[in-house]
Amino acid sequence: MSHYDAIVIGAGHNGLTNAAYLAKAGLNVVVLEKNEYIGGAAVTRELHEGWHYSNCSYVCSMMRQAIHRDLDLARHGLILVPYLGTINFGDGDARLISYHDEEAAHLELKRHSPHDADAMHRFQTDLTRYSQLIRKTLMRTPPEPTSFRPRDIMEMLWLAKKFWDLGEKEIYEYVRFFTMSAAEYLEDYFENDLIMAAMASPGIIGTALGVYSPGSSYILLHHVMGDVDGSIGAWGLARGGMGAISKSIASAAQEFGAEIRTDSGVQQVLVKNGKASGVVLENGDEITARIVVSNLDAKRTFTRIMDKNDLPDGIYDKAKNFKIRGSSGKVNIALSGMPKFTEVPDNKYVNRGGQTFSGSLETMERAYDCWKRGTWSDNPFIESVIPSAWDPTVAPAGQHWMSNFVQYCPPELADGPWTPEKRDAFGESVISKIERYSPGFRDLIVHMEVRTPHDIENEIGLTEGNIFQGELTIDQLFFNRPFPGYGQYRMPVKNMYMCGSSTHPGGGVSAVCGANAAREILIDLRKPNTVPEDDFYDE
């Protein structure tokens, strides 16, 4: 039996970040990972020789620069490369190209709608203002609104002041924005269906909501508030795949002295006298520690690796009802060459970045209808990226891999459990949709990996395959994440913490949840803080 200061369950990027900051503070930390590889959903895997898939998360914009810099991740091998030029594919021949150059982007919008081209300035400005406020809360622990502790009161006042500074009109707008649907919000600005579809698509990603569902406009914001080197809204690729992020954080954590054990799934969190005291591994080994930190999602933490009787009343039910519906699948495809898309100029800066098969608002809503009925759509929404066009390390030279994020895909089917045949049929729905826009696409396929929510849950332990460890709706955000009363990373059992995306500020490869949790833990352990403050471009 071994003893540590801290056990972190799950070597996803947040667990590793948490371990790095705890180890930096001098704690003796062990990270326990059930898989033989680390990274959780920020992982690179060679599933076909020469092709390295980021087979879960695939792009990155939320990664907090302050953490990247503070942990010196560049020295640990991490470089984030922005990619350019997403094309939105309409239902027919319509294409909307996001040119990198502002003037070119404006002219492209103008070709679709002069009105919308102008409206885009107001839209971007408003969205930037909203995201500035949210961004400031990312690396701060949410206050408990009913608490009288000075720290919570100060934090509430800080927040109130930030809101108040927006002005009366904006406060109303803000609240409206948080509760609206992405489609309705966009209708305030735009008239063109393809433009609206393109702008709405971030509002549904990773969430079992449709573009017309209330709350989807916040999710839109969550996807555009990231940045790459201050270019807000930009997306980057980790050189070497998303696993490079986890690897670099792991390397930093190990340099601080943290230990990482793979093939070490946790069976049970041990609780003695109402306090977490360690864990039992699936192989029966027992490890004890002063504190236990779970990087698993809230539902999994409280319903799978904890004994219901160790929890205060009501927590088990809260965890069981935690909204973590799986809505998306992932299809990773190795290609023998670069696919060519119809009605797209042969411009290397725009025809190989991202492809968003958004169609129209109606198309996306119909795809959501299929999910509600417990099936996948034969006309899915697909967000694709071809990382190999930007990163020379992930596929053989001249060959490519394409990441396809597919929505919607239910974790459970109406007509019985997922089978390999059904999974293939789901994959086929993706190929045939892409083939419609890229004749001959099918012939380029060298290898593919189809992942349903069911597969994602089984492999990396995200309940229902929900990519955010719980949906990003207002009832589960900020001080309500994961549950009201537990928004500060401390869990209902003493000496037990959470550090995954089930906590504030939610999903995305940001490393924030892990860092914020470390800061709270260090306060409780009366250790000096090792977590940096956030660093803003927009101040």
Rounded CA separation 72/321 (Å): 39
Q: How many other CB atoms are there within 10 angstroms of residue 275's CB atom?
A: 15
Q: Which of 81, 107, 157, 175 binds other proteins (CB under 8 A)?
A: 81
Size of the site for other proteins (CB under 8 A): 27
Q: For residue 417, what are the CA distances in angstroms to 183, 414, 420, 423, 523? A: 33, 8, 10, 10, 46
Rounded CA separation 418/415 (Å): 9
DSSP string for 75-118: TTT--EEE---EEEE-SSS-EEE--SSHHHHHHHHHHH-HHHHH
Residue 314 CA from chain centroid, whole number: 28
Q: Which of 391, 455, 457, 520 binds other proteins (CB under 8 A)?
A: 391
Query: Which residues does residue 88 pair with via DSSP β-bridges, in sequence order?
Result: 96, 356
Query: Which residues does residue 330 pair with via DSSP β-bridges, in sequence order?
Result: 405, 451
Q: How many other CB atoms are there within 10 angstroms of residue 54's CB atom?
A: 30
Query: Is 525 a residue that touches other proteins (CB under 8 A)?
Result: no
Q: Which of 229, 263, 282, 424 binds other proteins (CB under 8 A)?
A: 229
Q: Which of 321, 393, 419, 432 binds other proteins (CB under 8 A)?
A: 393
Query: Is 121 a residue that touches other proteins (CB under 8 A)?
Result: no
Query: Is 222 a residue that touches other proteins (CB under 8 A)?
Result: no
Residue 295 · residue 40 · CB < 8 Å: yes
Rounded CA separation 500/14 (Å): 6
- Closer residue to other proteins (CB): 3 or 129: 129
Place of tokens 């797209």: 344
Rounded CA separation 455/318 (Å): 25
Query: Is 446 a residue that touches other proteins (CB under 8 A)?
Result: no
Q: Which of residues 282-311 bind other proteins (CB under 8 A)?
A: none
Shortest CB 78 distance to other proteins, Å? 9
Within 8 A by CB and 6+ apart from 261, the residues are 30, 31, 32, 33
Query: Is 390 a residue that touches other proteins (CB under 8 A)?
Result: yes
Maximum CA extent, the chain: 69
Place of tokens 């005291």: 277
Query: Is 529 a residue that touches other proteins (CB under 8 A)?
Result: no
- Closer residue to other proteins (CB): 394 or 493: 394
- Closer residue to other proteins (CB): 58 or 218: 58
Query: Is 46 a residue that touches other proteins (CB under 8 A)?
Result: no
Q: Which of 110, 129, 136, 239 binds other proteins (CB under 8 A)?
A: 239
Rounded CA separation 475/222 (Å): 15
Query: Is 176 a residue that touches other proteins (CB under 8 A)?
Result: no
Nearest in space to 357 (alpha carbons), one of 326, 380, 325, 328? 380
* Residue count (the chain): 539
Shortest CB 60 distance to other proteins, Å? 13
Q: Which stretch binds other proteins (CB under 8 A): 199-207, 390-398, 406-414, 516-524?
A: 390-398
Q: Which stretch binds other proteins (CB under 8 A): 25-33, 160-168, 215-223, 226-234?
A: 226-234
Query: Is 504 a residue that touches other proteins (CB under 8 A)?
Result: no
Q: For the chain, state the CA radius of gyration.
A: 22
Query: Is 82 a residue that touches other proteins (CB under 8 A)?
Result: yes
Query: Is 101 a residue that touches other proteins (CB under 8 A)?
Result: yes
Query: Is 128 a residue that touches other proteins (CB under 8 A)?
Result: no
Q: Which stretch binds other proteins (CB under 8 A): 22-30, 255-263, 389-397, 505-513?
A: 389-397
- Closer residue to other proteins (CB): 22 or 67: 67
Query: Is 398 a residue that touches other proteins (CB under 8 A)?
Result: yes
Query: Is 538 a residue that touches other proteins (CB under 8 A)?
Result: yes
> Two tokens at 159?
């927040």
Query: Is 79 a residue that touches other proteins (CB under 8 A)?
Result: yes
Burial readout 333-345 (b: 16 or more C-beta within 10 A, e: otherwise): bbbeebbebeebe
The C-alpha angle with vertex 409 and arms to 238 and 217, in degrees rounded to 5, equals 70
Q: Which stretch binds other proteins (CB under 8 A): 286-294, 317-325, 392-400, 482-490?
A: 392-400
Query: Is 105 a residue that touches other proteins (CB under 8 A)?
Result: no
Rounded CA separation 489/481 (Å): 9
Burial class (CB in 10 A: 0-12, 13-18, 19+), 422: middle
Query: Is 439 a residue that touches other proteins (CB under 8 A)?
Result: no
Shortest CB 251 distance to other proteins, Å? 14
- Closer residue to other proteins (CB): 163 or 349: 349
Shortest CB 442 distance to other proteins, Å? 22
Shortest CB 80 distance to other proteins, Å? 8
Query: Is 345 a residue that touches other proteins (CB under 8 A)?
Result: no
Residue 327 · residue 409 · CB < 8 Å: yes
Query: Which residues does residue 354 pair with via DSSP β-bridges, in sequence order?
Result: 86, 385
The tally of CA atoms less than 13 A away on the side-chain side of residue 165 is: 10
Query: Is 373 a residue that touches other proteins (CB under 8 A)?
Result: no
- Closer residue to other proteins (CB): 155 or 391: 391
Q: How many other CB atoms are there within 10 angstroms of residue 20's CB atom?
A: 34
Q: Which of residues 57-76 bind other proteins (CB under 8 A)?
A: 65, 68-69, 73-74
Rounded CA separation 245/229 (Å): 16
Q: Which of 109, 228, 287, 296 binds other proteins (CB under 8 A)?
A: 228
Query: Is 107 a residue that touches other proteins (CB under 8 A)?
Result: no
Q: Which of 3, 37, 48, 84 binds other proteins (CB under 8 A)?
A: 84
Shortest CB 523 distance to other proteins, Å? 24
Give the residues lining the site for other proteins (CB under 8 A). Answer: 65, 68-69, 73-74, 79-82, 84, 100-101, 228-230, 239, 349, 390-393, 397-398, 535-538
